[in-house]
Amino acid sequence: MDTYGNSHKKPKLGNAGQNWGMQRATNVTYQAHHVSRNKRGQVVGTRGGFRGCTVWLSGLSGAGKTTVSMALEEYLVCHGIPCYTLDGDNIRQGLNKNLGFSPEDREENIRRIAEVARLFADAGLVCIASFISPYSRDRLNARKIHEAAGLPFFEVFVDAPLDVCEQRDVKGLYKRARAGEIQGFTGIDSEYEKPEAPDLVLKTDTCSVNESIQQLVDLLQERDIVPIDASYEVKELYVQENKLDLAKADAETLPAVQIGKVDMQWVQVLAEGWATPLNGFMREREYLQCLHFDCLLDGGVINLSVPVVLPVSTTDKERLEGVTAVALVYGGRRVAILRNPEFYEHRKEERCARQWGTSCKDHPYIKMVMESGDWLVGGDLQVLDKIYWNDELDQYRLTPTELKQKFKEMNADAVFAFQLRNPVHNGHALLMQDTHKRLIERGYRRPVLLLHPLGGWTKDDDVPLPWRMKQHAAVLEEGVLNPDSTIVAIFPSPMMYAGPTEVQWHCRARMVAGANFYIVGRDPAGMPHPDTGKDLYEPTHGAKVLTMAPGLITLEIVPFKVAAYNKVKRAMDFYDSEKHQDYDFISGTRMRKMAREGENPPDGFMPPKAWSVLKEYYKSLEKA
């Protein structure tokens, strides 16, 4: 941000143009663009409509302008709205490096920035200008430059008391100004003229960065810059409490269909909003979009790569055809109502070929699909009660809305998610630690890790969820991951082992829950081919697909670095091909074999308490 000046008051300037060491250009004529703003708005960004404007952040050094501007830029870009931040320090290293801090130079500094911001806005971007801009006349001139071009201009006063700014003093400038080392420092011995009628005031001494961003987004939504749907609200499908008794009474009168445990897991996924914006099990139109495009297309491109469907038998289909609502029954209880049901053919082989790239009937999830009903039923879902499994793990089953609240309470400015269905070893931990470090280096102050094991159905030879959760707790207990910046929660989805198709689902579900970084590993959601034993999917394709997948705009993909056991360092380490002989690649199969046979891995592979949990699990299998 702009930092200091060298005089107390800004003198009034005469009509004569200031001499900046350059000759004023003459004989110039403005050239009109052939491309209209409306046309530009159709192609700039992923959301149609011209949104060009300037958000001008003004305030004392240390008030939080740069922090807020960079966070707003990230929010908007992540929601498909093109945006760019002009920051005082950055501009003075390039465009305005020939300007000092005299009142005249400050006026020219702001004039140039206003003109550049106008060009950005005219190109269809939201331009965020983050400058002390202490003089009212300069800010008014910046507004007039935009108004003359017919472009929206929003003046935002980032208001923090001087004593708070001095306490922050990240760059040590206030201390130097108080010591007399800097003359004409704004707020100390140079005046800051507070905005008299700003479009918004941000009290950054009492509100968090996230709260400031929400106020800015609210402003931009009110002025039709940011569409309302850009906030991507979680759509939960639980019946409202004041309507619950009526819905339960209604459910008792409706024809019923029995659902299985995996179906019930999908009910939970829908009820909690993981599959936002679905209103229930997919209707045929949504199913076809998902199956052929890996996306929902009505209302914008929304990544949804796996069918969220409910199979039913021909008998049930014939019995229920023509009804306006159906009760879903699980474990003898009516758990949900499916309204306005739509039945369509369950073409199983085609579904499997498209979703898994194979129709091999020995694939565990494909086997379930092939044995399921010949019809699919979609409709609007109303779930009657919050879903509990009563397995002593329900406290970890946080909904997207609950996770967002947790992140807010932790003052998280970045959330990076790690999906797993296996025990955590130190190679995983190394990657998570490295991601945290890289986010800090990028300027984030409070990155939070969402350690998010999959909690739905898994194949028989995977380690069951209760044992995995016990192992994860041991990893945190031993301090391999920092409990103060980690949330362990359970993702309720079943595991489909559908490789790159499924990893998009895993990623977008965490996006709904508020994650903005997603760590993807080797062969995500993969498994050996049931017939050949070779990888069913090319191990690097999951990560590659995620970097190209449409509709994942609010997430940045963190590629998985290859980690292996370094025999020299006696620790997990990022693989160096030039020192290949130093590394031991301990596969999951080998790890399970060692645990099953009661052996210990090399020191540094996994925390001892966490390894003991794994050995205990395999011993329990022998007893069984």
- Reading the block at residue 230, the tokens are 């850009």
Minimal CA–CA distance to 501: which of 601, 372, 357?
357
Q: What is the pLDDT of residue 244?
A: 96
**Region 4-11 average pLDDT:** 44
Which one-letter amino acid corresponds to residue 545? V
Distances (CA, A) of 299 to 47, 279, 282, 403: 10, 14, 16, 26
Cite the beta strand spans of 43-152 per DSSP E. 53-58, 83-87, 126-130
DSSP 133-181: ---HHHHHHHHHHHHHTT--EEEEEEE--HHHHHHH-TTSHHHHHHTTS
Q: Is pLDDT at 263 greater than 90 in this prediction?
A: yes
d(CA 368, CA 301): 30
Q: What is the pLDDT of residue 102?
A: 83
Q: Is pLDDT at 27 greater than 60 in this prediction?
A: no
For residue 564, the 8-state DSSP code is: E
**Region 210-234 average pLDDT:** 84
**Region 207-220 average pLDDT:** 92
> Which residue do the tokens 């998009």 mark?
504
d(CA 371, CA 362): 12
**Region 547-567 average pLDDT:** 85
What is the CB-side half-sphere exposure of residue 567 using CA atoms within 13 A?
8
**Which pLDDT tens digit goes with each residue over 366-392?**
999 999 999 999 999 999 999 999 999
Q: Is pLDDT at 173 greater than 70 in this prediction?
A: yes
Q: Is pLDDT at 340 greater than 90 in this prediction?
A: yes
- Reading the block at residue 382, the tokens are 């109303």
Q: What is the pLDDT of residue 14?
A: 42
Q: What predicted TM-score, i.e. pTM, was given to this entire model?
A: 0.76
Q: In what order do the strands lie in the sheet with 583-584?
A: 571-574, 563-566, 583-584
By the 10 Å C-beta count (0-12 exposed, 13-18 middle, 19+ buried), 194 is classed as middle
Q: Is pLDDT at 333 greater than 90 in this prediction?
A: yes
Helix and strand totals (H; E) in the chain? 21, 20
> Which residue do the tokens 């979609």 mark?
378
Q: What is the pLDDT of residue 100?
A: 83
**Region 225-236 average pLDDT:** 75
Q: Is pLDDT at 576 greater than 80 in this prediction?
A: yes
Instruction: Give percent of the chain above pLDDT 90.
Output: 68
d(CA 522, CA 538): 9
Contact in structure between 268 and 381 (CB atoms under 8 Å)? no
**Region 257-283 average pLDDT:** 97
Q: What is the pLDDT of residue 23?
A: 46
Contact in structure between 404 and 417 (CB atoms under 8 Å)? no
Per the prediction, the chain carries an average pLDDT of: 89
Q: What is the pLDDT of residue 89?
A: 82
By the 10 Å C-beta count (0-12 exposed, 13-18 middle, 19+ buried), 27 is classed as exposed
**Region 587-611 average pLDDT:** 88
Instruction: Give percent of the chain above pLDDT 70.
Output: 91
Which one-letter amino acid corresponds to residue 269? V
Rg of the chain, C-alpha, whole Å: 29
Distance of CA 524 to the CA centre of its chain: 19
**Which pLDDT tens digit goes with each residue over 99-110?**
888 888 889 999
Instruction: For residue 228, name the pLDDT band (cuts at 50, 70, 90).
Output: low
Instruction: For residue 45, name the pLDDT band (cuts at 50, 70, 90).
Output: low
**Coil vs helix vs strand at 320:** helix
Contact in structure between 236 and 399 (CB atoms under 8 Å)? yes
Q: Is pLDDT at 246 greater than 80 in this prediction?
A: yes
Q: What is the pLDDT of residue 9?
A: 45
Which one-letter amino acid corresponds to residue 16? A
**Which pLDDT tens digit goes with each residue over 469-501?**
999 999 999 999 999 999 999 999 999 999 999
**Region 25-47 average pLDDT:** 52
d(CA 77, CA 554): 8
**Which pLDDT tens digit goes with each residue over 285-317?**
999 999 999 999 887 788 999 999 999 999 999
d(CA 427, CA 574): 8
**Region 385-411 average pLDDT:** 96
200 vs 557, more confident: 200
Contact in structure between 126 and 41 (CB atoms under 8 Å)? no
Q: What is the pLDDT of residue 5?
A: 43
d(CA 192, CA 62): 13
d(CA 503, CA 525): 6
Long-range contacts of 294-299 (CB under 8 A, 24+ apart): 294/501, 294/504, 294/549, 294/550, 295/550, 295/551, 299/229
300 vs 187, more confident: 187
